[in-house]
Structure 1
Amino acid sequence: MSTKEGIKLDHPLIHWVKAVYGDGRQIRFSDLFDGVLLNDLMCIVDPRPDDNIVCKDVSDFNTRLFNWDLLLKSIQAYYKDVLQVYLFVAAPDIYLISREPETEASFKEVCKVLLLILGCAVQGEQKEDFIFNIKQLDVTVQHDIVTYIQEI
């Protein structure tokens, strides 16, 4: 793992994702950019949709874009239908993430998506479970995540 990857995988929001899975799952650098892992995470937060067909073969721009579009629609639907909140934030640049995965600029956009998913998690029906997962993290990471939650 390069230094650049190590820094990114040490991000508080990535620690939160690992805590949600709770099984010691190794998250590869590439997992953050294909939309598969984060669609799976959103399904943990919101198990309602059963028609989310995520493309597992993410070798090209179009399949990654499909996955990211599906994820954003799921997030928007959760905010609207479950939380009864309309999002008035600039949408993460899924074209950038899909076109130029594994760049610093794409990672910033992935963090925006993670923040939206975190918002769903800590305000939704299973919020106690997600808050419990956060409380299991290092205190410094917990404080960082609280700061992110306050941004929501």
Structure 2
Amino acid sequence: MDATFTEMLEEFMGCALVTWVREIGVNSDSHDVVRLYLHLTNGVYLNEVMRIIDPNPKVEEIYQNVGDDKILRVQNFSILNRHLRSYYQENLQQLVLMPLPNVAVLGRDPLTEGAMEELRRLLLLLLGCAVQCETKETFIQQIQSLDIETQADLALCIQEVIIIGFHCCNFHHC
């Protein structure tokens, strides 16, 4: 990794979306930014977060022991994309207008700028689910426990994902 990418990665790992998703339960006291980022990009942890949001998924099991297996990472992110799309459509009655994250970019080579952009989109979608799900109060309280600057940044992210990224639609009238 070059110095420029390392700086971008450190900045990304300090952003509000990553702070929020890590607060949900990354069991790591590590300050190794790369290690934490790779933990987020194996597809396992983010699928677990989605299953906290929606504990009754209608999708297949995730692959736990991913390691450096690109195919398993892509599979885990494909499962997560299907779960997200299904949750927005069936539970929230919303159409996702923004493109879903590109699982090939994210899973095949996570240590790229493109993969970081796809991960950001994925985190936006997760945040949108979290603040609209049946247990949204829990997620909102968790957000309110963060520092004011992070809360403000997350408010902008929520606005981005709910207002810009989705279209509320009663499917009976579509």
TM-score normalised over the length of structure 2: 0.79
How many residue pairs align between the two structures?
Answer: 150
Q: How far 1:89 sits from its partner (Å)?
A: 1.5
Gaps of 5+ in 2: 1-5, 31-35, 162-174
Say whether residues 1:53 and 2:61 are aligned partners: yes
SS of structure 1 residue aligned to 2:24 = helix
Instruction: Identify the residue that residue 130 of structure 1 maps to in structure 2.
Output: 139
* Structure 1 position 32 matched with structure 2 position 36: no
Alignment of 1:14-93 (within 5 A): 14-21=18-25, 25-26=28-29, 28-49=36-57, 52-58=60-66, 59-93=68-102
SS at match of 1:74: helix
Deviation at 1:80, TM superposition (A): 1.0
Counterpart AA for 1:42: M
Which structure has more relative contact order (CA 8 Å, sep 6+)? It is 1
Q: Is the partner of 1:123 in helix, strand or coil?
A: coil
CA contact (8 A) 1:33 1:102 kept: no
Amino acid at match of 1:57: N
| TM superposition score normalised by structure 1 | 0.90
Q: Deviations over 1:69-105 (max 9, x none)?
A: 0000000111011101121221211110111112121
CA contact (8 A) 2:59 2:82 kept: no
Residue 12 of structure 1: aligned partner? 16
Post-superposition offset of 1:7: 2.0
Determine what percentage of the aligned residue pairs are the same residue: 33
- Separation in 2, partners of 1:147, 1:103: 25
Residues 36 and 54 in structure 1, CA contact (< 8 A), matched pair in contact too: yes
Contact 1:97 1:109 in 2 (8 A): yes
**SS at the partner of 1:137?**
coil
Compared CA separation, residues 26 and 110, structure 1 to 2 (3 A): farther
